[in-house]
């Protein structure tokens, strides 16, 4: 349930003065509301009224904005204080700092979706020298020969297996010892 800014502010004022907090209609669990109110009061103490405002979900953070926050952390500010002032999860900021330390500015680039495939072969065909072309022809011929040999051996194996299956199996004789 989303609460309005006015409702949050009223709850924080009541909480600080020790007065009873009235649950709005539709709120079934008063304990979870009290947990929210404690957090709102803490945010209000840290950030003022801005701490009670809704942060925009799915905010797009450009690499430059990410770097500003990372730079504050690297300059000595705590991750918790910087993330609170930016209305950001402290775990997310921790990841950005970690990636910046590992890969620099490239680590702060947005990585949404599946990473691009790395091409196996270059798109442009390089011109072959005469010796490379000759070697390629020899290798192709050798490959063709080995594939044919492989097929021959498979057929031979299948034929031998078929003949052995067609032979009557010899029965073991019972020993005459009793």
Q: Answer yes or no: are the C-beta atoms of 142 and 100 closer than 8 Å.
A: no
d(CA 31, CA 139): 76
Predicted confidence at residue 20, as pLDDT, reads 80
| 40-63 b/e (C-beta count within 10 Å ≥ 16 → b) | bbebbeeeeeebbeeeeeeeebeb
Predicted confidence at residue 137, as pLDDT, reads 94
- Tell me the H-state helices in 48-129: 63-74, 79-85, 90-103
Q: What is the pLDDT along the chain (178 residues), one digit of tens a residue?
A: 677 878 888 888 888 888 887 777 767 777 777 888 888 888 777 777 777 776 655 567 788 888 999 999 999 989 988 888 887 888 889 999 999 998 888 888 877 777 667 766 656 667 888 899 999 999 999 999 999 999 999 999 999 999 888 887 666 666 666 5
Predicted confidence at residue 84, as pLDDT, reads 80
**pTM of the predicted structure, to 2 decimals:** 0.44
Q: Please list, in sequence order, all residues whose beta carbon lies within 8 angstroms of the beta carbon of residue 109, skipping any fewer than 6 positions away.
A: 63
d(CA 167, CA 99): 69
Q: Which region holds residue 58: left if phi is over 0, alpha if psi is between -120 and 50, else beta?
A: left
Maximum distance among all Cα pairs of the chain, rounded to whole angstroms: 106
- Match 């790395």 to its residue by tokens: 118
d(CA 69, CA 106): 15
d(CA 102, CA 84): 24
């Amino acid at each position: 349930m989303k609460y309005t800014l006015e409702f949050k502010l009223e709850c924080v004022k009541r909480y600080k003065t020790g007065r009873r907090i009235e649950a709005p209609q539709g709120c079934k669990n008063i304990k979870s509301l009290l947990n929210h109110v404690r957090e709102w009061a803490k945010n209000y103490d840290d950030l003022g009224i801005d701490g009670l405002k809704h942060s925009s979900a799915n905010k797009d953070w450009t690499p430059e904005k990410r770097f500003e926050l990372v730079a504050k952390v690297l300059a000595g500010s705590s991750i918790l204080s910087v993330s609170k002032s930016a209305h950001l999860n402290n775990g997310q900021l921790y990841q950005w700092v970690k990636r910046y330390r590992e890969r620099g500015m490239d680590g702060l680039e947005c990585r949404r979706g599946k990473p691009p495939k790395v091409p196996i072969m270059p798109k442009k065909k390089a011109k072959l020298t005469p010796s490379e072309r000759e070697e390629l022809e020899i290798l192709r011929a050798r490959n063709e020969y080995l594939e044919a040999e492989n097929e021959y051996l498979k057929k031979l194996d299948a034929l031998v297996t078929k003949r052995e299956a067609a032979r009557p199996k010899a029965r073991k004789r019972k020993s005459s010892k009793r």
